Structure 1
Amino acid sequence: MASPCRLTSFEGTSYTLCEVRADQDVRLFLNAPDGSLLGNFPGIDAMLAPGKLGFAMNAGMYHPDRTPVGLYIENHREITPLVTSPGPGNFGLLPNGVFCIAPDGSFAITESRAFGLSGPDCRFASQSGPMLVIDGDLHPRFLPDSTSRYVRNGVGISLDGQQALFAISGSRVTFHEFARFFRDGLGLRNALYFDGNISRIYAPNLGRSDFGFPMGPVVGLVRD
């Protein structure tokens, strides 16, 4: 299997970018089979078998006990429900959205309220927010002159849903800059924010395995 992650740059900012296809084994991880929190990359890799985890990153916001803030589906089982009301923080900055991995492996990013009305069937799903790019437009609340800067990570998908591109910034960026990376740098029409400040990635082909406090939802590529 080719290494999924590489370094790239956009407008003078470096990014780690990991690209996966619908015919690959991409999953979401939260708890071990015994119900305990996985919470970190080595724990997921050990559960699968050492060396099986091709790449991973945090994949949605979570409460202090690490339960997901919004919708979370794992192997077709809904762990936490969809949240469609506005609220504080980045998650409640509507529109937010749902990243979905369908049973056939294809990817979708759907605005949360639209998902609640007629969302796709998902084997795995994680709700997060805000949306970064919505049908080619940046989130309407993003400001070009914002001073709020964090290391940020998120995901965008190809128009046909056959490819997902996960990115984490190499330095602190604004929402506007991060969203433009997905839209203008990668040419994607839909992208979703996962988190900032606590953003972490596992990219063994780049010699990178970030550590820190335990995480909630994690998305990862499982090698054959």
Structure 2
Amino acid sequence: MIRAFVTLGAFLWAAQTGAVTCEKVTHSDKRYTVCEVDAANEDMRLFLNDENGDLLGHFSAVNEALEPVGKRLAFAMNAGMYHDDRSPVGHYVEDGQEQMRVIPNPGPGNFGLLPNGVFCIREGRADVFETLEFIEQAPECRFASQSGPMLVIDGELHPRFLPDSTSVYVRNGVGTSGDGTRAVFAISEDYVTFHQFGSLFRDVLETPNALFFDGNISRMYDRANNRSDVGFSLGPIVGVVEDTP
């Protein structure tokens, strides 16, 4: 469970499966859905293409790909920015195979608003790294997705976030605990600024590092609550996989 919610009075409801705990939260008059994963024990993966190299792009397609091996999604979310052909903008690793190198330099758009970061899934943990720290530490990630900007960096909001910003979108992202055992995913149900979204991860979810995945196209899959957002094809997707009963 997400401990901070109860103490702050933001807890509204919860639905729990063996793999994921999802809750609806209100913080500073903005609504969010937050899903926490036990990163030390759950089967968390990134998905982009099927075994034939064709784009998956949708939660339903990921489920179809998992079905023959007796698996299914418990939870999923879009997991990083992509080009028009849905290829990742930044670093991407799937099942230990690097498909896109790390991009360390600034550039246009949110991805290039440094510092950006990398979400890394490895044995027994998941971590959000600031990109230059990721390069320095060179962790062996089974799965990794680079996105940006960072929302929270060592307990502080990204220095470019403005409290009075007028840029508002539906946004989604992920934060991780210092010991890597908690991965906390959030999607806003209202239009929010970067400052508002980052404050959720810093002040409520208590994740010392958090990474923005995307805005406007943000979508989520939550089996326990019968949620499966639909739309045009996505690029990288992060999912928690469970056995089909």
User: Aligning the two structures, in what range does the TM-score lie when normalised by the shorter sequence?
Assistant: over 0.9
Which residue of structure 1 aligns with residue 96 of structure 2?
76
Output one character per residue of 1:119-166: Cα deviation in whole Å (capped at 9) or x when no partner.
211000000000000000000000000000000000001111001000
Correspondence for 1:168 among 187, 190, 193: 187
- The alpha-carbon deviation at position 4 of structure 1 amounts to 2.7
More displaced 10-residue stretch of structure 1: 46-55 or 136-145: 46-55
Q: In structure 1, list runs of 5 or more residues that go unmatched.
A: none
Partner of 1:159: 178
- Equivalences for residues 181-200 of structure 1 within 5 A: 181-200=200-219
**Superposition pairs of residues 88-127 of structure 1, within 5 angstroms:** 88-102=108-122, 104-127=123-146
- Alpha-carbon contact 2:82-2:88 (below 8 Å) kept: yes
Alignment length, in residue pairs? 223
Q: Do the aligned partners of 2:71 and 2:241 also contact (CA within 8 Å) in 1? A: no
Residue in 1 aligned with 2:12? Answer: none
Please name the residue that 2:23 is paired with.
6
| Matches of 1:133 and 1:64, distance apart in 2 | 28
| Cα distance in 1, alignment partners of residues 37 and 131 from structure 2 | 23
Amino acid at match of 2:138: G
Q: Does 1:58 align with 2:78?
A: yes
Shift of 1:188: 1.4
Note the alpha carbon deviations across 1:77-108, whole angstroms, 9 max, x for none. Answer: 00011001100000000000000001x13011
What is aligned with 2:160?
141
Match of 1:4, SS?
A: strand
Given candidates 21, 24, 38, the residue that maps to 2:42 is 24
Paired residue secondary structure (1:55):
strand
Quick one: which of 25, 32, 36 aligns to 1:15? 32
- Distance in 2, matches of 1:159 and 1:19, equals 15
* Cα distance in 2 for residues equivalent to 1:109 and 1:216: 19
> Out of 44, 47, 61, which is 2:62 matched to?
44
CA contact (8 A) 1:25 1:105 kept: no
When the two structures are superposed, what TM-score results if normalisation uses the length of structure 2? 0.89
> 1:205: which partner in 2?
224
**Cα distance, 1:7 vs. partner?**
1.3
Contact 2:153/2:210, CA 8 A, preserved across alignment: yes
Paired amino acid for 1:126: S
Give the CA deviation at 1:51.
Answer: 6.9
CA contact (8 A) 1:4 1:54 kept: no
Q: CA RMSD in A?
A: 1.2
Q: Contact (CA 8 Å) 1:110, 1:119: kept in 2 or not?
A: no
Match for 1:101: what amino acid? I
Partner-residue secondary structure (3-state), 1:142: coil
